[in-house]
Amino acid sequence: MPTDTNSGLLPGRRSVRALGLAVLVVLSVLATSGLAGATQAQAGADTDDALESADELYLNDDGSGVLVYADDDNDVKEYQIGADVTEGLAHVLIADDVEDGELENAEGNVSAVLEDDMFSANGALTMEQPPEVEDLDVQISGEQSAETSEFDADVYALLGGGESGDIQQLSSTQQASLFESAETSGSIETTADTFRTSGNVSVDFGASSMATGDSPEETFAFDLTETETENGYEVAVSERGTEQAFLTDPAEQWGTEADAKATLEEQYSSLADDLGGDVTVEIDHHSFEEQSADTYWKELDYTITYEGIDDLEDNLADELADDSTADLDREEAEEIAGQVTNVEIETVQFDLTSSAEAMDATWTVEIGEYAPLLTSAVELSEASMEDELEGDDADQFGEQLEDFETRLEAQQAADLRSTFEWDASATYTDDNRVELEATATGDTENYDAYTDELADRGIDMSDERVVFEFNAATEDEQISVDGNVEIGTEDLAETALTSVADSIRQEQDAGQFGAFASALEESELEIAKVDLDFDNETVELEAGAKFNGTESLLEDGILGENVVLTQISGGSDEGATYVYVEDPDGEELDQDALAEQGLVDDDTDVYEPGEGDREFAEMDTEAATTYLGVDAEGGDGMPGFGPAAGLIGGAIAVALLAARRRV
């Protein structure tokens, strides 16, 4: 049979999965991520056949028992795990020495806490500065609350290769094939009814391999505006560039002004047909000259006019009404078509100039009255998905669409304005270093009015808050990184547990983990916490969770319907893990039932009441409550068993017993 390999941080093989899953449960509710997949990886076996037998079983006079799993290969410096059912507690502590070279010249810490309506995390890392990173300064921060929504980022980096100054990741040939410098800047501004963006990108190829010597500048520019007739658009276009003979003869297409006009009308007529209108082309400037064999220089200034597209709304309504997937009647189709065609294109401008030495591009786009377009998209989605979704999926989709419409209405009522601006550059220095600089900002106007409008429509954001900060810098030949995040929202812990439970249901066998997922979802998490500290000598991980579940006992527990778990405890001092079990009805434990669940077998030493060494370690609940900062209180539910802690203990036991099969 395959065996596990210790990492130097974990205890021996017989309890490694108990330890791993105890940590995993805590981290899962903090990270709301793939508990199920990780659990299966920890178990190392199919969940249909994951139970494993104990080394010893001690039976008590009151009908309860203790399963003992010996930890024969424990080489970790210190570890302690436990779950107390009556207190609703789980706690893990691991400490060990770092093997040579694993965390050389690095130290750091990470802490995270999840409570009912708040998640917070912070961490710091210091490590040796790599030679490729000569200078680094990163500052990123943001906040979104009931009053504001803003974001700032400032990044500077100088990348080289230590003393030589060469970029180690790129050969000299690769460096030469790129560029000398590049930069971009711009902005995006949105309101509930308008969208505006403008910006530029420029690249200086300098002496790179792309710069092949003197070459004419090629340009392309267009300007789209709405015509005065209000039923068409004009596009002013300017082109300067080379044309080469390949599959067609450029001289036949562009040789004369008449040829160029015919070619352009053919190119743009299909769009006019789709819009139900007509297209005309007026050429203001034309020049076409042969430069060399099969190579020509073309200059064109022309205006394309689309007219007679006032029937676009009717044509679109016809298509929507005839579309079986949209499921719209004629009146609904006409309403959506009207919303789409009411969009106002104020400006669409684009200019591109390029040569072998450089490239420059600028753009300006402004679109008005596009909110109805968003509304029509929502209505189309709702109509097209009506017959595709059923039950909870249909309800959830409907709620999402309703939420979107509500937020759009609130944006309009509050005149919410959002702006994002950026400025970034990358430059190769004379000594082959790469210098990167970038700034970005995001800001809003009338955000407090927007959240007030949301509140008036039933969406309360008064308690919602997201704040984050991240910093990284080089100093004294080290890189220091630190960051923190705080997320506040109603029922955050409940949402996190539901997310984990859903993941378990999707990825794990329902028979083994379905009850675990359901109990986890109903467990009323009070707090979950994790701390990790490390340096080049030691690593310490501590994690814990406190639950206040008051629901009834799991009807189909992970250990089987005839066995419930009251406590699990183990550690490096004991050299074993102890699993305390009871009969759910308070009767004597049925050994046949235990055997059916794989908890005992012919190799298990069974001790009747009064027999054997009766020294069993119990969970250190005081250490757990002190770490979590909570009071120890007896759990609700059946005597000696609460579903919240029971699900944790049950999961730990499954992992523990699965590990036995691998030994």
Average the pLDDT over each of 12-21, 194-203, 260-269 and give the range with the smallest value: 12-21
Pairwise CA distance, residues 538 & 622, whole Å: 25
Contact between residue 341 and residue 313 where contact means Cβ atoms under 8 Å apart: yes
8 A C-beta contact, residue 661 and residue 53? no
The amino acid that residue 344 corresponds to is: E
Mean pLDDT value across the chain: 77
Q: Identify the pLDDT of residue 149.
A: 94
3-state secondary structure of 252: helix
Confidence of residue 96 (pLDDT cuts 50, 70, 90): confident
Task: Return the pLDDT at 654.
Answer: 45
CB 356 within 8 A of CB 212: yes
* Between residues 61 and 175, the one the model is more confident about: 61
Split at pLDDT 50, 70, 90, the class of 204 is very high
pLDDT band at residue 35 under the 50/70/90 scheme: very low
Alpha helices in 597-642 (DSSP H): 621-628
Q: Can you tell me the mean pLDDT for 127-154?
A: 94
Distance CA 387, CA 215 (A): 59
Flag whether pLDDT at 313 surpasses 80.
Answer: no
Q: What is the pTM of this model?
A: 0.78
- How far apart are alpha carbons 587 and 609 in whole angstroms? 14
Q: What average pLDDT does range 415-434 have in this prediction?
A: 93
Closest of 502, 572, 513, 437 to residue 136, by C-alpha: 437
303 pLDDT more than 70: yes
Which of 282 and 657 is assigned the larger pLDDT? 282
Task: Report the C-alpha gap between 481 and 128 in whole angstroms.
Answer: 11
Which SS3 state, helix, strand or coil, does residue 605 take? strand
Q: Over 60: is that where the pLDDT of 541 sits?
A: yes
pLDDT tens, 570-628?
887 778 888 888 887 778 888 888 888 788 899 999 998 888 877 888 888 899 999 99
List Cβ neighbours of 246 (8 Å cut-off, separation of 6 or more).
none
User: What is the structure's pLDDT at 655?
Assistant: 41
> For position 448, what pLDDT does the model report?
94
User: What is the pLDDT, as a whole number, of residue 498?
Assistant: 79
Overall average pLDDT of the 337-344 stretch: 75
Between CA 52 and CA 633 the distance in angstroms is 32
Residue 264 CB: number of other CB atoms within 10 A?
Answer: 20
Residue 642 reports pLDDT greater than 60? no
H or E segment at 233?
strand 233-244
Question: Is pLDDT of 260 > 80?
Answer: yes
Output 46 or 35, whichever has higher pLDDT.
Answer: 46
| Residue 427 confidence (pLDDT) above 90 | yes
* Lowest-pLDDT choice from 65-79, 164-178, 418-432: 164-178
pLDDT at position 514 over 70 = no
